[in-house]
Amino acid sequence: MQNLLLGYAGATIDRAAARRSDAAWLAAALRDPASRMIRFHGDRPRITPSGNPHAAIAYDRPESVLHLVDCCEAVLLGVASDGCAVFAGACAPEVEEDETCKLIDLRSLAVQGLLAPGDLNLLAQARALLNWHQRHRFCSNCGQATVLADAGYRRHCEACGASHFPRTDPVVIMTAVRDGACLLGRQPHFLPGVYSTLAGFVEPGESLEDAARREVLEESGIRLGHIRYHASQPWPFPGSLMIGMLGEAETSDIVIDRDELEDARWFSRDEVRAMLADRHPDGLKVPPAMAIAHHLITAAFAE
């Protein structure tokens, strides 16, 4: 079972794929006063600071806000457990907020644990979809404008007939282990003292295992042998899937790619335990529990 502390995972909504091409059902759902709409302003959703456990999504009735979000670009997220349809839409930047809601970015919501896992997953789904639509309004085949189709899971070009589908970019993220130590590195933009697992995008024609071995070798000079899958995490920045792995290192001499990493080193079990407990003598830390890197680092010494 997926760890509930893993940010953006733990879907609870029925994505209702069979409903996406049902124009009559979608039109009725948008008019239904029981349906719900999530409004995003840029990359931030509207949040009510109360309950669930510390905040809640500030839902609107679709019919009351369609004039704010362009009804032609409202995407269907699915059907909630109470049978109500849930949509998402992006507001124009000039739309003003009311005093009862706040705009909170998804990273802060996850790190601070402000929402239940299912609601955080719902926002990740919405953000990834809306971001894709905002960036793919024109056909990559002929350059003409495209229109939303299948309730947001396709864009159609009426000029050349091409269909375009939302994409998810696979990213391998892995902890290398050797002789009771694990390999961690840090990039210049990390918060001070934070070390994490190495990661990188899967390239065309690569298996996940090949990508993991290539990324670790390129960034640290370490060669990986056996690799096993651990867990995955949706990462809506803007639309990736983090595929977590544990790898057995065959070499130990580190050669850092300074274009990728500021530092990389081997950390013993005791050092990692101190970092996890926030009591490392040098103030070193690992990513927060909402990140898959945290769980990969923990899993490296779980056996």
Q: Has domain 17-135 been given CATH number 3.90.79? A: yes
Q: What is the pLDDT of residues 48-78, one digit of tens each?
A: 988 767 899 999 998 887 777 766 688 999 9
Q: Identity (one letter) of the amino acid at 127?
A: R
Question: pLDDT tens-digit profile of 113-127?
Answer: 999 999 999 999 999
Judging by beta carbons within 10 Å of its beta carbon (0-12, 13-18, 19+), is residue 61 exposed, middle or buried?
A: middle
Q: What pTM was estimated for this model as a whole?
A: 0.92
Torsion angle, alpha carbons of 223, 225, 226, 227, to 10: 20
Question: Residue 34 corresponds to which tokens in the numbers above?
Answer: 């029981």
End-to-end CA distance of the chain: 18
pLDDT exceeds cutoff 80 at 85? yes
Q: Show me where the domains of the chain are located.
A: 17-135, 137-166, 169-300
Q: What are phi and psi of 107, to 5 degrees?
A: -60, -45
d(CA 262, CA 87): 42
The Cα 253–Cα 264 span in angstroms is 11
Asked if 17-135 and 169-300 have one fold, the answer is yes
Separation of alpha carbons 152 and 69, rounded Å: 14
pLDDT digits (tens, 9 = 90+) for 192-227: 999 999 999 999 999 999 999 999 999 999 999 999
Phi-psi region of 63 (alpha: psi -120 to 50; beta: other; left: phi over 0): alpha
Q: ω into residue 53 within 30 of 0, thus cis? A: yes
Q: Where are the alpha helices (DSSP H) in the chain?
A: 23-31, 62-69, 106-111, 117-135, 208-220, 269-276, 292-300
Spatial separation of the C-alpha atoms in residues 34 and 69, rounded to whole Å: 18
- Residues 74 and 145: their CA atoms lie apart, in Å, by 17
Give tens-digit pLDDT for 253-289: 999 999 999 999 999 999 999 999 999 999 999 999 9
Tell me the CATH class for 169-300. alpha beta
